[in-house]
Amino acid sequence: MMSGKILYSYTGIFDTPDQIMHAAEKAVETGYTKYDVNTPYPLHGMDKAMKLKPSKLGYVALVFGLSGTLATLLTIWWMSAIDYPIVIGGKPLFSFPAYVPIIFEVTVLSAAIMTVVSMLFFFFKLPNNSHPLHGTEYMKKVSADKYGISIQADDPKFNEAAVKKFLESVHASEIIPIYWDEEEISHKNKILEPKFIMFLIVVAVITSGVTYFSFNKLMYMVPFDWMMNQPKLSAQQQSPIFADGFGMRQPVAGTIARGSMVYQFKGQPDLAGVKLVNPIPISKESLALGQVKFDIYCSPCHGYNADGVSRLRGQFPNPPSLHSDKVRNWSDGRIFAVVTEGQNTMPSYASQLSFDERWAVINYLRALQRALNAKESDVQ
């Protein structure tokens, strides 16, 4: 240990590829194990000369490639056949041929990424810019046009005199010792260094600022605003185009909208009871529709069975049962009048229920009435 420095290796430089091949072969013969050959480009046959074992990275590629294949297959299967099964173009939920392209791409992707990552970070332990060979004349030469061998001090057979002699015997020029860099060995990472803390603070401020801006400001600016800002009128908006200033318009006088009908018996429920005839025959569909609408619109007050068992718990005048003789003897048209116009405290349901839906509700109500007041003949 001269001058307190720790020796890393002894290096020798060669001018031709043949010389370095020879030196590498001799180094193996002498029995050195911890040595390296540095050349500006791969030399062919050097792996044999150095007796290196074949690279295992091929297996890494195989394993990660196949894992990619399998993982993608399973993921796609789970996504399209299990988690969100939806038939597309009449194809089966799990349509393997269509998945081949993506499975192939992910296989290649995972194999390529993982092979390179394992080579650089696990096999080579890079990045490593503090290796003793860095920053030396030796490295400058072997990176350009010279070939070098470096025999490390931690080799079991290492002996300064012998190594020097060995390098001379293979005709190396410039036999130079390389030392560990004091500073690099004793260097400690100081996490609390003010510079580092400042850096962290700046990063934090910028990240939160950008995040705040994009979520709270940017997302409300055109064109990022989810198309909220459109040149059209929404319901209840003003419009300067019309004299009355309303955006919403009445139908043109004398016309009615497709599918809607005019109720002719306003204020005349009894006349409606006489004149209006239920046009919807009782059927499975009509009863089903009637049940849905009844349960939504009528049952909160009148109860699911129309027996006046309200779910409003007295917050509203209790409605009567619809099984009274009065209602049972009413014609469908008379009930229609109540639903359409309301009656005293009961509001109108004209805007919630279309004509057909009102008739369906009435059909269903009839079925309920019949169920509670079955005739002898119904049992037979």
Partner 1 sequence: MSTVDYTQELSVIEGKPPLRVLDDLISKPIDAKPTRKFFIALTISGSMLSLLVIGLGLTFYYGIGMWGNNIPVGWAFDITNFVFWVGIGHAGTLISAILFLLRQKWRTGIARFAEGMTIFAVMTAGLFPLIHVGRPWLAAYLFPYPNQHSIWVNFDSPLLWDVFAVSTYFIVSLIFWYVGLIPDFATLRERTNNKIKKITYSIFGLGWRFSNKHWQHYEMVYLILAGFATPLVLSVHTIVSFDFAVSIIPGWHATIFPPYFVAGAVFSGFAMVQNVLIIVRKIFNYEHIITLDTLEKMNKIMLLTGSMVGYAYAMEFFIAWYSGLPIERFTFVNRAFGSYAWAYWVMISCNVISPQLFWSKKIRRTIPVMFVIAIFVNIGMWFERFVIIVSSLSRDFLPSSWHLFTPTYVDFMILIGSFGFFFTWLLLFTKALPVVSMAEVKATVTGSQPSHKDH
Instruction: Identify whether the C-beta of residue 339 lies closer than 8 Å to the C-beta of residue 365.
Output: no
Is 326 one of the binding residues for ligand HEC (CB under 6 A)?
Answer: yes
Is 255 one of the binding residues for ligand HEC (CB under 6 A)?
Answer: no
Is 272 one of the binding residues for ligand HEC (CB under 6 A)?
Answer: no
SS3 category, 175: strand
Q: What is the DSSP letter of 155?
A: S
Is 263 one of the binding residues for partner 1 (CB under 8 A)?
Answer: no
Bridge partners, residue 147, by sequence: 14
Q: Which of 148, 290, 319, 333 binds ligand HEC (CB under 6 A)?
A: 319
Using left for φ > 0, alpha for ψ between -120 and 50, and beta otherwise, residue 75 falls in alpha
Is 314 one of the binding residues for partner 1 (CB under 8 A)?
Answer: no
Is 171 one of the binding residues for partner 1 (CB under 8 A)?
Answer: no
**Which helix (H) or strand (E) is 65 found in, with range?**
helix 57-77
Alpha helices in 218-266 (DSSP H): none
Is 9 one of the binding residues for partner 1 (CB under 8 A)?
Answer: no
> Which residue number, 20 or 365, has a Cβ lying nearer to ligand HEC?
365
Is 112 one of the binding residues for partner 1 (CB under 8 A)?
Answer: yes
> Which residue number, 104 or 242, has a Cβ lying nearer to partner 1?
104
CB of 126 to partner 1, least distance (A): 4
Tell me the CA distances in angstroms from 111 to 66, 68, 119, 150, 152, one per residue in order.
Answer: 8, 7, 12, 34, 35
Q: Which of 9, 115, 152, 286 binds partner 1 (CB under 8 A)?
A: 115
By the 10 Å C-beta count (0-12 exposed, 13-18 middle, 19+ buried), 27 is classed as buried
From ligand HEC, partner 1, none, which one binds at residue 55 (CB under 5 to 8 Å depending on kind)?
partner 1
Q: Which residues of 351-374 are buried (b: 16+ CB within 10 A; e: fewer)?
A: eebebebbbbbbbbbbbbbeeeee
Q: Which of 21, 322, 353, 365 binds partner 1 (CB under 8 A)?
A: 21
Per CB under 6 A, contacts with ligand HEC among 351-380 are 361, 365
Residue for token digits 């004509």? Answer: 355
Is 185 one of the binding residues for partner 1 (CB under 8 A)?
Answer: no
Residue for token digits 């696990």? Answer: 122
CB of 370 to ligand HEC, least distance (A): 15
- The amino acid occupying position 379 is V
From partner 1, ligand HEC, none, which one binds at residue 177 (CB under 5 to 8 Å depending on kind)?
none
Is 344 one of the binding residues for ligand HEC (CB under 6 A)?
Answer: yes
Is 302 one of the binding residues for ligand HEC (CB under 6 A)?
Answer: yes
Bridge partners, residue 45, by sequence: none
Q: Which two tokens stand for residue 338?
A: 């109540």
> Which residue number, 80 or 291, has a Cβ lying nearer to partner 1?
80
Is 114 one of the binding residues for partner 1 (CB under 8 A)?
Answer: no
- The amino acid occupying position 326 is K
Q: How far apart are CA 37 and CA 288, in angstroms?
A: 86
Q: What is the DSSP letter of 348?
A: P
Instruction: Identify whether the C-beta of residue 177 lies closer than 8 Å to the C-beta of residue 10.
Output: yes
Site for partner 1, rule CB under 8 A:
17-18, 20-22, 24, 36-47, 50, 52, 54-55, 57-58, 61, 75-76, 79-80, 83-84, 88-89, 91, 95, 98-99, 101-102, 104-106, 108-109, 111-113, 115-116, 119-120, 123-124, 126-131, 133-134, 139-140, 142-145, 222-224
Q: What is the contact surface with ligand HEC in residues (CB under 6 A)?
A: 297-298, 300-302, 316-317, 319-320, 322, 324, 326-327, 335, 338-339, 343-346, 349, 361, 365
